[in-house]
Amino acid sequence: MENMNIGHHISRQFNEELEDVRNQVLIMGGLVEQQITDAVKSLVEGDSRLAEEVIENDHKVNGLEVAIDEECTQILARRQPAASDLRLVIAVIKTITDLERIGDQAEKIARMGLHLSQMERPKGQYYEVQSLGERVIKMLHQTLDAFARMDVDAAIKVSQQDDKIDHEYDGIMRKMVTFMMEDPRSIKRSLDVIWSVRALERVGDHSKNICEYVIYLVKGKDVRHTEYMKKAVED
Amino acid sequence: MENMNIGHHISRQFNEELEDVRNQVLIMGGLVEQQITDAVKSLVEGDSRLAEEVIENDHKVNGLEVAIDEECTQILARRQPAASDLRLVIAVIKTITDLERIGDQAEKIARMGLHLSQMERPKGQYYEVQSLGERVIKMLHQTLDAFARMDVDAAIKVSQQDDKIDHEYDGIMRKMVTFMMEDPRSIKRSLDVIWSVRALERVGDHSKNICEYVIYLVKGKDVRHTEYMKKAVED
């Protein structure tokens, strides 16, 4: 009886640790989403103070990554989890790497925002960045939702939004090349816009990666580099 | 005695598994290094057949990532490694993610090579891509050496090459902007060159990440986002 209680207690504590790690990932995800949102806003509105805030806050994202990573390593060492618990810890280790890199993209966009705030504003008012930004932020938000609910179907659907992001990105690129050819003086500004939409496109890639970890976590299959997701939807 | 033999046998088998995983990472690393080398060569020499080969070979890189990842998960589940063995497995899981993404960059460069092989060649013969490519390939090679020998000092030194890569990259970017302003008809070609040097710069970032995993593996400290490496060199 004594032993059972201890066993029960340890198991409960273990569950709490896993739950805590999941919550921390969601906190990190929320912060990263805010960073991307603020970065896009700072660029579109020419708000250099907000851009500086985003750059300043990146260390918080990095700090969370290191802390969660450490917690995962501790859990692997002390709890020696098996099956789905093990997959959760591995999925978390991978997810926070992508979240940290989304954070880096937010910082990059904010730096472009700082640059651009000192230049003459174009007629389009950075409409392309705003539009692609909204799409990417929506995808990131839904990715974190799928992670929170461990929802495979949602993860599959969300990951497919990446194609639309790539498509919109290609269209913006063609437009920017035309701008630059028509007005070479706009090249420097156009390049900053290009870097920014490029960064947003990469946020889409990272979100897709996280969706794939969710699928791996629940299904226990490695879906990267396979046609699994396509098939899953056709089925 | 029987038991001891079994214990010894299991432990030897475990060591062999870890050794096998390490070797597989080096095989994957060698393939990725070849992919980057061929991609740069295809672009600089306008060799569209070589570019197509690189694009074709990317699935081999992806296949290796999935296989090694699976092996690591198996080891974690069956062996429940502790301390340095655990750190090795985690470091491998992270390293192959970066190697896979270096492979993606090779594919990207090869696609630019395909594009550029159909355009008129510039006077400079893509000297910038060749030069930055050599620097990046050298860094990647030394990174894999540091991983193979688990050499922390080498990893610290190699990771610092990333600054030089960033510096050279910035210089090329300034040059390309000047080109585009002087000759707007060169914008499309210049953008392909810009994407290529950008991809090379990212290979430097990924190599630096791998160096940091080596340091983490040996020292058991998380050096990302810290001044650890700088201090380590000053000491």
The 10s digit of each residue's pLDDT in A188-208 is 889 999 999 999 999 999 999
Residue contact A66–B184, C-beta within 8 A: no
Task: Please list the ranges in chain A whose pLDDT falls under 50.
Answer: 1-6, 231-235
Domains, chain B: 12-232 (1.20.58.220)
Residues of chain B neighbouring A65 (CB-CB closer than 8 A):
224-225
Record: contact A73-B90, CB cut-off 8 A: yes
Closest residue in B to A98 (Cα) is B97
Task: Let me know: does B20 contact B71? Beta carbons within 8 Å.
Answer: yes
Cβ(A58)–Cβ(A187) below 8 Å: no
Q: What is the pLDDT of residue B226?
A: 59
Best of B222, B223, B227, B228 to mutate (most A CBs within 10 Å, chain A): B222
Per-residue pLDDT of chain B (235 residues; tens, 9 = 90+): 444 444 555 688 888 999 999 999 999 999 999 999 999 999 999 999 999 999 999 999 999 999 999 999 999 988 888 888 999 999 999 999 999 999 999 999 999 999 999 988 887 789 999 999 999 999 999 999 999 999 999 999 999 999 999 999 999 999 998 988 888 888 888 999 999 999 999 999 999 999 999 998 888 766 666 555 544 444 4
Chain A residues within an 8 Å CB radius of B94: 93, 97
Q: What pLDDT was estimated at residue A164?
A: 95
pLDDT at A216: 87
* A225·B59 Cβ contact <8 A: yes
CA distances (Å), A4 to each of A9, A13, A16, A85, B216, in order?
8, 14, 18, 21, 38
The answer to whether the CB atoms of B77 and A83 lie below 8 A apart is yes
- Residues of A with CB below 8 A from B77's CB? 82-83, 86
* Distance, CA of A121 to CA of A204 (rounded, Å): 27
Q: Does the beta carbon of A224 lie under 8 angstroms from any beta carbon of chain B?
A: yes
d(CA B210, CA B228): 15
Q: What is the DSSP letter of A221?
A: -
Q: Does residue A76 sit at the B interface (CB-CB below 8 Å)?
A: yes
Q: Quick check: B178 contacting A, CB < 8 Å?
A: no
Distance CA B78, CA A81 (A): 10
**Substitution target from A58, A69, A75, A76 for chain B, most B beta carbons within 10 A:** A76
Q: Is residue B209 within 8 Å of B98, Cβ to Cβ? A: yes
Would you say A93 and A216 are in contact if contact means Cβ atoms under 8 Å apart? Answer: no
Interface contact A148, partner B, CB < 8 A:
no
Contacts of B101 (CB under 8 A, 6+ apart): B202, B206
Q: Round the CA-based radius of gyration of chain B to a whole number and report it.
A: 20
Answer whether A77 touches B (CB < 8 Å): yes
What the block records as the tokens of A46 is: 């020419």
Q: Taking a C-beta distance cutoff of 8 angstroms, is the pair A58, A107 a contact? A: yes
Rounded Cα distance between A146 and B166, Å, is 36
**Of the candidates B191, B146, B159, which has an alpha carbon nearest to the alpha carbon of residue B172?**
B191
Q: How many CB pairs under 8 A join A and B?
A: 69
Of A69, A83, A222, the CB nearest to B69: A222
Interface with A, mutate which of B58, B76, B86, B112 (most A CBs under 10 A):
B76
CB contact under 8 A, A90 and B77: no
Provide the sign of the torsion angle of the four alpha carbons B73, B78, B83, B88, taken in this order: negative
Asked if A69's CB is within 8 angstroms of B222's CB, the reply is yes
Residue A128 is predicted with a pLDDT of 93
Q: Is B80 on the interface with A (CB under 8 A)?
A: yes
pLDDT of residue A188: 86
CA distances to A16, A24, A78, A84, B6 from A13, in Å: 5, 16, 12, 17, 34
The pLDDT assigned to B2 comes to 41
**Cβ of B69 under 8 Å from any chain A Cβ?**
yes
